[in-house]
């Protein structure tokens, strides 16, 4: 056993791509691999997504895009990118979705990535950098229909930026897009539909003026919530990794979890009643029991807030995590009688025998979302293809 390892099932990722493509029909799938592919390992996951038929890859930062290109996943200066639904193995379009400094614009354009623009000032900056680099920059104009982050809130400004982009010889108008604030909340009192309706104004204009331009809005939740949101492309992140965008059971949507987090029992100790485990003595054995020590902690991304509020799979059974999680270790109560010996596998996320602990369960205990659970795993935990 390794001290700690995140096993990445790339076959499950490819299957999730196929599941999403089936949901989308002929609409292109954009695989979102930002934040190290939500903690799963960006390079290998990007490759698997393309093999699974993703027609585009999206990240948040220029450095993330440069990593993909340097690893040979796709891209390079002058890359035009695909525009079809995605054929397994076909070179994908590359899109950097986030805010960029002037220096980061150079990195993104040098990687052959499209970039997001929503003001005339930034459009002119991108055009100048494209001209200096000798490339044509592909632009996706962002319209803020209610997310309240990047993008113009003004439909007229979005139209103006799109028109001036199309008229600029250093630029190519490649897309118009928006992002949903409440797609994962069916009880949002109609906010999702109001965003869709608002985006419809830009979609109608784009279809009339530039029918070849890609229109995209849907995230993972929107893909399952409403076909009306699919347009020409859907940007899927969390569902790609077999995590449920609605924080339920991913299997109910035909998705298979990609990541499992595994360690081992490094020591098994007999605790008399009253013996404490961990900093602050936040747990004391209520009766004579056996305690297992697992070399995994918040230095690996296992949140300290799970102290005394989690379970770990050992020998196919759930065992309560007891005591305070430290930087390098956590402890589990193996019970008054146990056959567990040092070296036994310990699973924090994943399946062992008939039992399974999903990221959604961990997220519920932390009162957060499954995205944060996997993204929080730190570099000290190696990612290994399963």
Enzyme catalytic residues: 34, 279
**Is 301 in contact with 377 (CB distance < 8 Å)?**
yes
Listed residue (97, 246, 104, 244) closest to 179, CA to CA = 97
Strand-pair partners of 332:
292, 321
Task: Give every CB contact of residue 371 below 8 A, 6+ residues apart in sequence.
Answer: 38, 237, 238, 243
Dihedrals phi, psi of 291, to nearest 5 degrees: -120, 135
Bridge-based pairing of strands 214-216 and 171-177 is: parallel
Listed residue (46, 51, 133) closest to 94, CA to CA = 46
Name the one residue in this structure whose structure tokens are 């965008």: 245
Q: Which residues of 267-302 are buried (b: 16+ CB within 10 A; e: fewer)?
A: ebeebeeeebbbeeeebebeeebbbbbbbbbbebbb
Give the CA distances from residue 317 to residues 40, 251, 280, 324, 326, in Å, rounded to whole numbers and listed in that order: 26, 21, 27, 21, 23
Question: What distance in Å separates the CA atoms of residue 59 and residue 38, rounded to the nearest whole number?
Answer: 11
**Is 330 in contact with 265 (CB distance < 8 Å)?**
no
SS (H, E, C) 322-358: ECCCCCCCEEEEEECCCCCCCCCEEEEEEEECCEEEC
């Amino acid at each position: 056993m390794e001290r700690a390892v995140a096993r990445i099932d790339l076959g499950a990722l490819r299957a999730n791509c196929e599941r999403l493509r089936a949901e989308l029909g002929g609409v292109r799938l954009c695989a979102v691999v930002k934040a190290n592919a939500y903690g799963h390992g960006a390079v290998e996951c990007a490759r698997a997504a393309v093999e699974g038929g993703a027609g585009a890859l999206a990240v948040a930062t220029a450095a993330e895009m440069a990593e993909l290109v340097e690893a040979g996943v796709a891209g390079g200066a002058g890359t035009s990118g695909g525009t079809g639904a995605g054929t397994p193995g076909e070179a994908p379009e590359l899109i950097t979705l986030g805010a960029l400094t002037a220096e980061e614009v150079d990195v993104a354009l040098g990687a052959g990535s499209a970039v997001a623009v929503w003001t005339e000032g930034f459009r002119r900056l991108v055009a100048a950098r494209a001209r200096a680099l000798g490339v044509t920059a592909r632009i996706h104009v962002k319209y803020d229909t209610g997310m309240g982050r990047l993008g113009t809130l003004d439909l007229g400004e979005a139209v103006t930026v799109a028109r001036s982009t199309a008229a600029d010889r250093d630029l190519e108008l490649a897309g118009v897009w928006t992002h949903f604030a409440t797609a994962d909340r069916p009880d949002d009192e109609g906010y999702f539909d109001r965003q869709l309706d608002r985006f419809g104004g830009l979609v109608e204009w784009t279809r009339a003026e530039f029918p070849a331009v890609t229109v995209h809005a849907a995230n993972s939740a929107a893909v399952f919530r409403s076909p009306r949101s699919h347009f020409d492309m859907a940007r899927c992140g969390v569902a790609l990794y077999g995590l449920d965008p609605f924080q339920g059971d991913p299997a109910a949507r035909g998705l298979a979890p990609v990541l499992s987090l595994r360690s081992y029992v490094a020591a098994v100790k007999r605790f008399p009643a009253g013996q404490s485990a961990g900093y602050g003595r936040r747990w004391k054995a209520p009766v004579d029991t056996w305690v297992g020590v697992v070399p995994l902690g918040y230095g690996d991304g296992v949140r300290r807030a799970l102290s005394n509020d989690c379970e770990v799979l050992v020998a196919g059974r759930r065992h309560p995590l007891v005591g305070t999680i430290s930087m390098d270790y956590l402890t589990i109560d193996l019970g008054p009688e146990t056959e567990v010996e040092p070296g036994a596998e310990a699973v924090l996320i994943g399946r062992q025998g008939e039992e399974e602990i999903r990221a959604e369960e961990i997220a519920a205990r932390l009162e957060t979302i499954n995205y944060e659970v996997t993204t929080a795993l730190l570099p000290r935990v190696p990612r290994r293809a399963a």
